[in-house]
Structures are given as structure tokens and as C-alpha cells.
Chains A and B, each alone.
Chain A
Amino acid sequence: MSVTVDQLNDNTIEDPSTRAPLVLGGLDYKGVTDTVSDVAYGAAPPKAWFVVLGISALLMGMLFGCVGHLIMTGVGVWGNNNPVFWGWPIVNFVFWVGIGHAGTLISAILFLLRQNWRTSINRAAEAMTIFAVVCAGLFPGVHIGRVWSFYWLFPIPTEHLAMWPNFRSPLLWDVFAVSTYATVSLLFWYMGMVPDIATFRDRAKNKIQKIAYSVLSLGWTGSARHWHRYEMAYVILAALATPLVLSVHTIVSFDFAVSQVPGWHTTIFPPYFVAGAIFSGFAMVVTLMVPARELFGLKNLITDRHLENMNKIIMATGLMVGCAYGIEFFIAWYGGNPYEQFAFINRAFGPYYWAYWTMVSCNVLVPQLFWFKKCRTNPWIMVAICIFVNIGMWFERFVITITSLSRDFLPSSWAYFTPTPVDIMMLVGSFGLFFTLFTLFCRFLPMVAISEVKGVMPHDDHELEGAEAH
């Protein structure tokens, strides 16, 4: 054999004769463990980590300041008005829920489909999912008029409420969908982390770390019995999480599709929303992974091949989204409903044309660059593209929510939506919350699934033979 891909240290070359390695740099099992746990136990974290954490925490503070102001004053601090009853908070909600799709998809669906390359990125992606769902959960929570009564949305059998919530309302389905998704994703993420937390526990240098990781690792000893049960549970949770990946955004899309607002009342929404969610979620994973692997020296684990694979998925889902945009217009024309027709003409050529064309450029045109391998593998280019994708996906939700509401049936009630500073600060602040959680995660929890990565590393022949013998 001539030069192997491993020797080139480039695993993006497609060589049918050999399986591309997923771990580079000649790392062995110990090397993998060291690389990951060095993030927590190695030298002091890089300065950039402190800078990112500092800025994010400030923005998070701003977010909570805004929430406090909102609760004291009322939702009138936003720009919502009479036709546009839902404004940026719902746009942000749908945006963050969408972001929260990639992690569970990577962990669960790719696991069931035996996509081994998922192992290096699934942990961080799942963490991102959880944090995105936290951001998403915040918005509908505070967006209701009487925040202090949010629990009335839950079917709590109390005398005080005197009756069940309205099970016909998509908003109630939302409550169930998002909370189930958050719960299962959290469990899945945490359970998958237990062996790795145990590794951290074993390497802990001070008491606080020791106690904290001990508690979190639930007494993991690495016994065969533990491993056996762990694997079983992992498969079960993966199977449980898989339909949720599809259901949650389907149900979020029902918030729109079930209503009769022209531009919302569309049967294409469920698949279109799920595709968009995966699209934006993967874009966010790439956006996070590229600097993270650079910062924490994980390039041997999160390799260019991983990123390239994700970029391919981004391109594929981007095409689906683009197709959906086209179908929406086709159906509006073909369906013959003038209100629907107007809603779409208004999107593209009405007062919000800028939002629509921003969306189309970012979501349909920009990802086409991924046809070029250079763009799929160059970190700078891919991050730029992914940021555009996320801007585009935020605008997609903006276009759906706001342009449809601003002009529905009666022209007398049409209005234009203008955000207030609080709207803007809360959107920016939600990124603060997200990045604060993510930077803390990077430092204190195993960013890469150590045990799973080891499972997909090439074994020496002896071990392989042994494995095949079973």
C-alpha cells in the first residue's frame, strides 16, 4: 500500500479500498481519553474561552433583565400589535427549537443507522440541543400575557383550574411535544455521558470535582454488567428519541398549519419544518464545532471528514427547504385561493420583501457552495456558510410568522410590525444564554463521547479476530 489516508492526515479523500479513519493523529485509546479529559484537566482553558464566556454571560444577564422588565410591565414591551399578535418571541422559539434538532438526530437516528462518524460529534451536538431547547422554552414561557399563570397550560387536576386545558389547541400539543422532547433529549444526553463522567471522576484533581462527578456518574464502575445495561438503555432511548425528532417540529408547525391564516394554513408545513430544523441544527453544530475543536485541540477527533459529512447533510436539507419554498408558491397558485395567493405574493413583493429574499438567498443560494469540496472542507468557508444558513432560517420563521399575520383577510386591519429594542435585546440575549451554557459545557463535561469513539476506532488484528469470533 502506498500512502494511507491516515498518513496524509486527511480523511476526506474517498478511497473505496479502505475505510476512512475517524480518528486521526495516530491516537490510541489512552490518547483519546487524554485528549478529551485534557479539556477539563489540562492546562488552564484558553483565553478565548474566558472571553466568550464573559461576553455570553453579559448577554445572558441582559436577557434576564429584559425578562424581568417584561414581567413587570407586560408583553407590550415588544413590538407585537393587533394583527401581528405573535412577533419575535415566537420567531425565536421556532428558531431555537429548530436548532435543537441536530443533536438528537445525530445521536439517535444516526446511531440506529449505524453511522459511526456520529460518535465524535454527538455529545456536543446533544448538548447544543439541550441548550437550544432551553432557549426555545424560555420564549413561549414569557411570551404569554400572564406569565405567572403559565402552568395553566399543563393538564393539572386542581380545583383551582376547574377543567382540563383545550386538547384541540395546537399550542397544547406544543407543550407536550416540546416538554417530551426536552425530557428525552436530556435523559439521552445524560445517560450517554455517564461512563465518560466516571472517567472524569477518576481523573479529578480536587474534592469538589470529585464529589460532583461522583454524584453525576451514578456509581459507574465500568463493569460488564454496567456496560450491558448501558448499551441496552442507549438503544431504547435512541429508538424513543427518533420519532420525537420528527414529531416535535411537526407539531410546532401545526401551530401555524392548523390555523386559518393565509400563509400558515398549509399542509406542507410538517415535513418542511423538520427539514428546515435539521438544516439549521446542523449548521449550528458546524458553527460551534469548528472553533471548539480548534480551541480545545480536538482536531484529531472531530476531523474534516466529520465536518464534511455534516455539510453534505446541510446541502441536502437546504435543497429540501428550497423545494418547499417553490411548492408553497405553486400550491398558492394552483389552489386558487386568492387570500393564499396574496399571502405569497405579499411575502415576496410586499413590504417584507427584504426578509423574504434574505431568507431565499441564505437558505437556498448560499448552501449551493457546498457542491464544491473546497467549501465543504475549508473551516472558514463552512462556518461563514453555516452562519448565513442560520440567519436565513431565522428569517424563514420571521417571514412565516410576521408577514402572514401582518396582512390577512381584512385590509382594514393590516399593519406593519416594528420590533422594539427589547425584542432585539432578547434575541441577542438568547444567544448569550446559549453560548454561556455551551462554553460551560465544553469546559466541565466530556465534549466528545470517549467510550463511543473508542468503539469505532480501528482495533488491532487480534482484537478484531476476537470480535468477529462472537
Chain B
Amino acid sequence: MSKAESQNVLYRSLEELEDTPEFQEFLTREFPEGAENAPDGMTRRRWVQLMGASAVLAGVSGCRFENRKITPYAFRPEDRVPGETRTFATTIEWAGNVRPLFVTSYDARPIKADGSPIHPATAMIRKDGSATRLGASDAITQACVLDLYDPDRSRGCLEKVDRDYVERSWDDFAAAAASLGFQGDGAGVVVLAEPTTSRTVSGLKKKMLSSMPAAQWFEYAPINSDNEVAGLKAAFGKSLRPHYDLSKAEVVVCLDADPLVDHPDALKIARGWSKSRVPDDAVEEHRQISRLYSVESQFTVTGANADHRWPVKSSHIAAFASSLKEKVVAANKAGKPVEVSGSAAEKRMAILANELMFGISGTGNSHGRCVVLAGASQPAAVHQLVAFINEAIGSTLVEYTEIEESSSSLQSIGQAVEAIRAGAKALLIIGGNPVYDAPADLGFESAIEGVAHKVHFSMSRNETTDRCDWHLNQAHPMEVWSDSVAYDGSHCLGQPMIAPLFDAKSTAELLSLLLGGTGEGSELVRSAFASLDDSAWSQLVHDGFVSGSAAKPVKLQGAKEPAKPSMAWGAEDDRIEVVFRTGNLYDGRLANNGWMQEVPDSVTKVTWDNPAVMNPKTAKAIGAKQNEKVKIEVGGRTIEAPVFIQPGQADNSISIAIGYGRKKVGYIGGSIEKKIDPVGVDVGPLRNSAGWNIVEDAKPDGTGSRHRLSSTQDHHVIDVTGKKAIGDRYNQLIFEGTFDHFEHFAEDHHLFSGHDEKGHDENGHDEHGHDEHGHDEHGHDEHGHDEHGHDEHHHWPGYKHLHFDNIDPIPRSWKYSEDYKWGMTIDLTRCTGCSACVVACQAENNIAVVGKDEVARGRELHWMRIDRYLSANSTYANSGRILDDPEPRVRTQPVTCHHCENAPCEQVCPVAATVHSNEGLNDMVYNRCIGTRYCGNNCPYKVRRFNYLNYSDATTFVKYPWADKLSQDDLGLKGLANNPEVTIRSRGVMEKCTYCVQRIQNGKIGAKAAGRELGSNEITTACQDCCPTEAIQFGNLADPDARVAKASGDVRSYIMLEELNIGQRTRYLAKVTNPNKDWPVFVLKDGEKAESSYGKVFEAPHHAQPAKKQDHEEEAKKEVSKA
């Protein structure tokens, strides 16, 4: 307090100032007036009353409501109903992709992101022209909200002063920018940015480069499609982008590609592909369902869905493509199929070329409905070959649009490092994490050491931030205005869903600040769309994109034929390659996202790790064992990674996901500082500019040191007894059959009216030995009922369950609602096993992440899981050499609560915590549950999940004071991602899929409030919403118009474990495959290569009667011995 102030007169009240006699008396009096003397006439009774009341009230004064600060809405904003969710259209650039979204926001905080149902990239339009409620999305989109509320996000700008970080404001940075070197002509300034499609950013970049002409700007993304662009440029001389429409496909050949998941346009491709697989449509349209061939080293989702998967080393794909091209050219020239002869590999190649050229039937014309796709990691030459083949076969499934010229990422970062070494004074890194992911040979980390001023703009502090002096806080794309160009070229807009949580800015705002402006994000973006008038602008904000702005395909002709690759197809090659693939964590930026860490890999089912995947043969050769580490050396640099043995990987090929092994990311992904071990292995040391995606000459060596992988399936190696049982059960769990068989069935049962029998001859049915008595083989009597009383008319490929004559559905004494009967169907033909639904369910239902150790214990909480079964060729399976099969098949099956009408879980719960609703929901009453876990034991599907520990960090009865790893503030931040409609479960409580009961209730309430009937397909579940192939249908079985009711009445529908007679409400639709009967199979016997026909060994599994099966085995064995 200053002197001047102390001289002021202080007073507490006016009375004190006046100093009246009353005031004096008040001061001297000990007790207030009237309290000094006992009131007159106080009786004993009265005294007791008063004392009693005082005692009671004294207790009351101890009760107090918890103090909470609230900000009441004195005036409710327009259109705002508190507690009601609202959905906004926006578009974000996230994990290398432009994602048009519909974001659900609860009280102004975004809680769920789904694909936009109006943007062509994500919209799901059905055959009848109706659209889905929300668009398709993938796991990464579903998980992006979690990053928004990541407690490890940066809380503000920082400056490193003497090795310590000091908090700074944006104003501090603006003031310091000039002294950091961002001034004048920009001499010595190097900017390394993540590529963006934003017009706003590129406008500002141009502005910056014009005001600082000496500054240098480089763009780098570790995952990119540069090879594809380069390949197409070599073929057509332009920068192009391919667009695939597989909805009319007949034959699709993927060369080391995973277009169903790992592709910027994967949602659209998957949607199209699944359309081409729907057998009903195919039969009605007199065409085959598409046939998918996958030639790849590692098992991808696409490979798992392929009708034939051919494991080939990634480094051999170029030679493969070249050989395929030659065959295609030959067939093209001859105008007829080339001869299928020679070794199995030669036969296969000829088959591929013939089918690409002449379609599945091999005789007619493919009408351009065939296409070849190559993976982004393949070199440019392969993409050029693919473009050449697609032109040669006249493919109409691929179109190209022109894109802007840009230099490749690898080239660009090389130049950036050169510029830095040449004496850069100021380095601005916009986003990304080059210290972690730049090519190892560039020595990025050491290169930037000499730069005087290094500024890193990022969402959280990462490895790169640690090497910089300034950290600037980048906003989550949902927090700021932005614009972008989607894969199809349409112009998209991102509007903020929430104000930046921690004083963060967008890239555009940062650049504007450096240019001396104070531009608000909204103004900057608006000015980039200056050509739009206000109404067009507001339409853009409303829709999230400018409709009809997609790029127009260009007409191209005369793809240049590439030079022959140095390696010839089929050459012996004992070198071991390492293939780097994009896993769940993308380039590593999702490492702190628990959902992405915990969602199992589609094929290996491994979580929280990036094992070196190899096949049993390779593992044996290098002395590697499951759950042990292997040392991999490339050019003197080594890493040690855990081994995962995956039959089906190409020989001498190791694949390993990138993005793991982060040393500084946070509580989830690992942080040296916080003493949290990195998750997985950083493969960075093995990747250099020359061998970026594929290293051809790696030297792996088993180390023998243990490393336990956490997988959600097959936690342990399965023994012989178990394997046999899996083999026996497999066909009862997943029903599948070939398209040929389905077509015959449809024909025989007149499933599709208007179906013209004559049209079939050209498809060559009669060749398959189907005659008019074909039924009898399947045990039908003339009424179409089998011995178990099932009406075979309605079931394809026929029942395989255990049926007993004396068991009939239990007559139920209780009545179900006649209005609502909730049910679900999952179409295994459409499902690709991409896992988006798993994450969507997690986001919708506040499902906690349990962590690596708990997954290893088998305690993951996912309400929806995707079961994966591998099956070997029967020759191997029956000779006990399952693992020797080089080409196992993969089948995936999403499993979630079946909401059994006669639920086994309900009967055994002693406290009635799981009960049935009259609408058929198997409800879980969390606050009645005491956790006896009996329900879990009795559930045949094992879909019940138990909170063994306090995974959600919820309030609970007692816990150790150190039980919560995060502070209360951080827990609060994390909690913002939660859906307020769904209870948070604490430890000791069972949980499981509810069919998204909160959505059902909201739907019903909404309809009731509006005084209308609930729409037939109005209510959707989270898994259904996101599914890119519409494999999941949910709704009211009692409503004949509901899609779920139609699907469950489909001929392909079946109930898994129906023999348990528990009235399951979830049904599956059998899988239809389209194998090529002539596809030769490699059969290895005692190290020899032999071959036999696919059709003879595998036969269509649906009529694999035991006796017949043995015949096939005999035949296969004979063939083997002959060879």
C-alpha cells in the first residue's frame, strides 16, 4: 500500500463516521439488544422446545449444498434448447485426410463426429435414392473428438529460457517475432509446414513469401500419395489423382493396396465395393458379384476380404505388375484369353490377365468393369504400370482429376534440411513432428541444432517441440475456422464447434500474425471465399462444402508404358524386406489417442503395439518367436521389435506399422518425462529417403528377449485340441457360400420376381453340374422343409446348427410390445472388418480405455468387437500343419450383444441388474449391479464387459488417494468428451451393448412430442451410422417397412448359435464369396511346391458334407503325391 493511500480515512459504515450515541452503545454492548436478558415468561416447556429446535437446527447448519459455480442463461439464445444435442456440418483436415463431418454437439461441446451425409465422399445413398441419417466414417474420424479433450494438449505458448519453459502469450510472440528473424526480406527464414489443401493458408503463404522473398517454404508429410502422383505423371504427363468407383466392378485386382481402409477415398471405395458384392442386386441385374484379388505382402483389410489373396513380397510387386501388364497386352492383342498353363504362378497370372480383359466369364467383354489398384507405398513405376493396364483393359472404374503441381514430400524435406544446413537463422515448423518422422539419413535433429531460432507450432509438445525454443499452441481443427479441398476436389469449410480450449490459433491465424495482421480466423477464411455472396456463404457454412464443386474428371489417353523393372517376376530372392505400413496411429499423431491405441488391428488383433509381422516360415528362418523380440538391421541402424507370427504374410517379408514408439507425447502414447514407456517401437531409424516405404535388404535376428503382445483374440497360442474345435465350429458361426450356389438357390426358389431364367446360360451355370434335382443333395424334401422343421426356402446356405426334434422355441409367458421390437442385422457380405464401428461405439457409449496390461489380461471393454478367424486349406488343416498354409483365409464377424429374448444373463443375476424391456432390449441397470459377473459367465457370446478396475476414473466408494493418474482438472477435461446421455461406469459394474438405448429413447420421445409415428428407419445405432458399407441395420422388427425387418427376413439371414434357443434379436446375413474355381493353390508338402486346384480343395464350404469333404481331402492328397 502506498503512503498516499494510508493517509485516507477508512470507515466501515456511515454510523461509524457519524459516531452517534447509538453507535457507541452498540460498540460497548456485548450482546445485541434483547439478548442480554432472558425473555420474560420463559417456561420450562418453552425452554425445552427452543433447545430442542436449536439442537436440531445446529445439525442442519452442517448440511450444505456443494458450492458450484454456474453461469445461468438469463436469456436463452435463439434455437437453443439446453440439454439437447445439435448437429453442425463442418470439414476438418485430420490425419492426412479432408473429412467432411456432421458433428454432434452437446451444450456447445462437440461429443461425436460422423461423416457428412450430404458430402459425396461420405454420403451413403441407397438404391432407392434415400440417404442414411449420417454419412460413413472411419475409426480415425470417430476418434478425433478424443484428441480435442486430450489432457496432454498444450495449454499455451511457451518459450525455452535456459532449458526451462516459460509461459508466453500470443502477444509476447508477436512482439518477439521480429527478433526471432521473421522480418525484413526473410533471409535465413525456413518454414517447414504440413501440406494443406486450405486456400486461406496458401493465400497467406503467398503473401508471406512475397513480403519475405528470401524466406523458403517446404512442405512435408510422412504419409503421402507422392508415388501415385509421380506414376500418373510419368504415364500421362500431368499431376493427377485417381478416383475409383467400384460399385459396378466385376474384377478388382489390388497390388499391395488396401483401398477399403488405407486410402484417402477409402469410404467411397468401400461403399462402392460392397455394392458390387450384394448378391440380390447381382442376381436381379443378371451379373456376377465382383471378384476381388489381392496381391500383397501383408494382410490388409482388403486382402482379408479378397476372394483370392496371393502373398507376394512388396518389393516384387513392380515385377509382378510388369508381368501382368505383358499378359494383358498379349490378351488384348490376341483378342482372346491367353492360355492358362505352366506353374501355378504362371496360371494365376494368366487368369488375372484374362479376367481383367474379358471379365469373370472369361469369354465376353468386361465392359470396362475391371480395374487394378496399387498401394500408395509402391514406387511410381507400379502406379504407372497400373495406369497403363487400366487403360489397356478399358477400365471405366477409374477416373482422373487434375491436381496442383507440388514437389514430393521426401524431396521437399531433403531440400529443407539442405537449406537449414546452409545457414538458416529462423525455422518455423508448422504442425507435424519431423524430429520423429523425417527420414533417418537426413539427420534432421542434428541439422536444426545450429539454427538460432526454432519455432514449433503444434497441438501438444512433441519430440520436435523439445528441440525448439518456442512452442506455439495450435488449435484442434474443430476449434477454428478453416477451409479445405476434399479428395473429390470439392471446396469445404470448417467452422469452429467450440472456442479454442487453450488459447490456441489456427495455421491461418498464425501466418496472419506473422504478417503483422490480427486477422480473425473467420475473416481470413471468408476472404478466401470472397467470390461467394452472403447467401452462398451461409449455405456453405450450413452444408460444410460447396455443392457441385467437385473437380471434373479429365479425359486421358495414351498412357506411357514404363520401362521394364530391373527385377524379373519370379526371380529367386532370399533377401528379407521390411514393409512400413500405416497402422492405427497414422503417422504417430494419434499416439495419445487411447481409442486408436486400443482398437485392435483388423487382422492381427494386436493392440497397443506395432509388432514385426512375419509368416511362420520367415520366423523360423530368422529364429524369431511369437512374443519375443527381433532385432532388425538396415544399413547399420537397428531396432528391436516384438514378433507377431501371421500366416499369410509373404515369405521373407516383415511388415511393421509406423507411428509407434513416441517418446514424448503424453500419458497414453508414452513420455520419457512422465516416466511412461513409449507404446510400441519407433521404426524411424530404419526409414531413409532411399527406402522409405519398403526396405529390400534387412537383416533380422531373433534376440530371445520376451515381449508380451496384447491382443484381443487368441491371447495364447492355441493348442491342437482347440484348433480342431475351432475348425469344427467355424462353419456354424460364420455361414458362407459361393455366389454360384446362391444364384442357383435364388433361381430354384424364385427369390427374385422378374428374374429371367434364360439369361443365365451365358453365365455358364450348367457347367457347375447343377441339375433340376440339385436339391436332393441338400436334404430337402419336396415341401422344402428339412428334417428339423426349418423352411429351407428362407435360408441360404441352409442350416448347419445342432437341431433336436424335441426342442422348440420356448413358449414365453410374457408379452412383448406390439409396437416396437428392436433388432439388428449384420451383413457379413458387406462387412469388411474395418473396425470403425468399434470406435464409434466407444465414442457414443463412453467406453473406457483399459490400457495395454489390461488388454493382455483379456479385460478390454469394447462393447462391439470384430471376431477374426483364420482358416487353412483343408489339406494343411487335416494333416495338422495349419500354420504351413501360405494362403490362409480370414473371416471377420462383428459381435455385440444379441439381446436374447430368453437371455441367459438375466436369469442368473441375483440382484436383477440385467432385465428385459418389453420392447426386447436386454437392459443393464448399472446402479443395481453389484458385479457378481455371473451374467458374463452365462453369456454364450461373451459380449459382457466388466469393470475390473476403475477404468473410467469415476467416483467410487473408496479408492487409494493415488489411484487417479490425472489431476481433477485433467479428468474434467477428459470428461468433456463423454456423451451425457450415457452413464459413466465405475469399477465393479458389468456393461455391454445396449443397442444404443439412449438413441431409441430420444427417438421415441421426439416422435411422441411431435405427435407422430416413429419413422421406420428413424432410429440408428452408432455402429450403424458410421459403417461405410451399410453392413449393420438396426430398427423395429415389428415394422415391416423397416430395413432391419426386411434384412432379417432375407434368405441369407441366420442366427449364430441358434441351437441355444434363446431368441436372439441380432441376426447375421451369410457371407457370399466369389472364388474362381480354376485358381490354382500352392500346396507345400515337406518343403516341396506342388499345386492343386482351388475348387477341388476348398469346394464351396456350404455343401461341405463330411463325406464329401473327405473326398476332397483324398483328392487333394492324391494331387500332392502326384506332384
A82 touches B957 (CB 8 A): no
Q: 1/0 per residue A132-167: CB within 8 Å of B?
A: 000000000001111111101100000000011110
| Distance between Cα atoms of A169 and B942 in the complex (Å) | 19
| Distance between Cα atoms of A82 and B710 in the complex (Å) | 14
Does B557 touch A at the CB level, under 8 Å? no
A165 touches B858 (CB 8 A): no
Q: B interface, by DSSP: helix, strand, loop or mixed?
A: loop
Chain B contacts for A146, CB-based, 8 A: 929-931, 957, 987-989
Does B867 touch A at the CB level, under 8 Å? yes
B866 and chain A: residue at smallest CB distance: A412
A166 touches B721 (CB 8 A): no
Name A85's contact: one of B895, B937, B988 (CB within 8 Å).
B937
Name A73's contact: one of B893, B945, B963 (CB within 8 Å).
B963
Chain B contacts for A25, CB-based, 8 A: none
A79 touches B722 (CB 8 A): no
B854 touches A145 (CB 8 A): no
B936 touches A82 (CB 8 A): yes
A260 touches B911 (CB 8 A): no
In the assembled complex, the CB of B919 is this many whole angstroms from the nearest CB of chain A, namely 20
| Distance between Cα atoms of A407 and B857 in the complex (Å) | 15
Does B656 touch A at the CB level, under 8 Å? no
Query: In A27-76, which residues have CB < 8 Å from any B CB?
Result: 71-76
Q: 1/0 per residue A405-420: CB within 8 Å of B?
A: 1011111111110100
B946 touches A411 (CB 8 A): no
A76 touches B910 (CB 8 A): no
Chain A contacts for B930, CB-based, 8 A: 144-146, 149-150, 152-153
B942 and chain A: residue at smallest CB distance: A413
The verdict on A410 contacting B941 (CB below 8 Å), with A171-B908, A415-B716 known, is: yes
Does A271 touch B at the CB level, under 8 Å? no
Query: In A176-228, which residues have CB < 8 Å from any B CB?
Result: none
Q: Which of B330-338, B725-733, B811-819 contacts A (4 or more CB under 8 A)?
A: B725-733
The verdict on A346 contacting B722 (CB below 8 Å), with A81-B857, A145-B930, A260-B1060 known, is: yes
The verdict on A82 contacting B928 (CB below 8 Å), with A145-B989, A410-B867 known, is: no
| Distance between Cα atoms of A408 and B941 in the complex (Å) | 9
Query: In B1082-1101, which residues have CB < 8 Å from any A CB?
Result: none
Name B957's contact: one of A148, A152, A165, A414 (CB within 8 Å).
A148
Name B910's contact: one of A74, A175, A418 (CB within 8 Å).
A175
Name A74's contact: one of B912, B947, B1060 (CB within 8 Å).
B947
Question: How many of A's residues come within 8 Å of B, CB to CB?
Answer: 59
Name A260's contact: one of B726, B909, B940 (CB within 8 Å).
B940
Chain B contacts for A84, CB-based, 8 A: 858
B802 touches A338 (CB 8 A): yes
Chain A contacts for B857, CB-based, 8 A: 79, 81, 418
B858 touches A73 (CB 8 A): no
Q: Which of B802, B910, B936, B1057 has the most CB of A within 10 A?
A: B910
Name A409's contact: one of B909, B941, B949, B958 (CB within 8 Å).
B941
A168 touches B907 (CB 8 A): yes
A169 touches B713 (CB 8 A): no
A81 and chain B: residue at smallest CB distance: B858
B947 touches A416 (CB 8 A): no
In the assembled complex, the CB of B857 is this many whole angstroms from the nearest CB of chain A, namely 5
| Distance between Cα atoms of A409 and B963 in the complex (Å) | 36
Query: In A390-426, which residues have CB < 8 Å from any B CB?
Result: 405, 407-416, 418
Does B869 touch A at the CB level, under 8 Å? yes
B719 touches A76 (CB 8 A): no
The verdict on A166 contacting B725 (CB below 8 Å), with A259-B937, A405-B937 known, is: no
B936 touches A85 (CB 8 A): yes
Chain B contacts for A325, CB-based, 8 A: none
Chain A contacts for B726, CB-based, 8 A: 411
B960 touches A72 (CB 8 A): yes
Query: In B860-911, which residues have CB < 8 Å from any A CB?
Result: 860, 865, 867-869, 893, 895, 904, 907-911
| Distance between Cα atoms of A148 and B927 in the complex (Å) | 13
Does B692 touch A at the CB level, under 8 Å? no
Does B604 touch A at the CB level, under 8 Å? no
The verdict on A82 contacting B909 (CB below 8 Å), with A145-B933, A410-B895 known, is: no
A83 touches B958 (CB 8 A): no
In the assembled complex, the CB of A157 is this many whole angstroms from the nearest CB of chain B, namely 15
The verdict on A74 contacting B940 (CB below 8 Å), with A148-B957, A260-B1060, A338-B802 known, is: no
Does A243 touch B at the CB level, under 8 Å? no
A80 touches B933 (CB 8 A): yes
In the assembled complex, the CB of A299 is this many whole angstroms from the nearest CB of chain B, namely 46
Does A384 touch B at the CB level, under 8 Å? no
Q: Other CB < 8 Å A-B pairs besides A84-B858, A152-B930, A411-B729, 5 of them? A: A75-B988, A82-B945, A85-B944, A147-B957, A413-B713
Closest 3 CB pairs of A and B: A145-B931, A145-B988, A76-B948
Residues of B within 8 A of A (CB): 713-716, 718-719, 721-722, 725-726, 728-730, 733, 802, 854, 857-860, 865, 867-869, 893, 895, 904, 907-912, 928-934, 936-938, 940-942, 944-950, 957-960, 963, 987-990, 1057, 1060
Residues of A within 8 A of B (CB): 71-76, 79-86, 143-150, 152-153, 163-166, 168-172, 175, 255, 258-261, 337-338, 342, 345-346, 349-351, 405, 407-416, 418
Q: Could you list 5 A-B pairs, sorted by A, with CB under 8 Å?
A: A76-B948, A146-B931, A147-B957, A166-B910, A171-B908
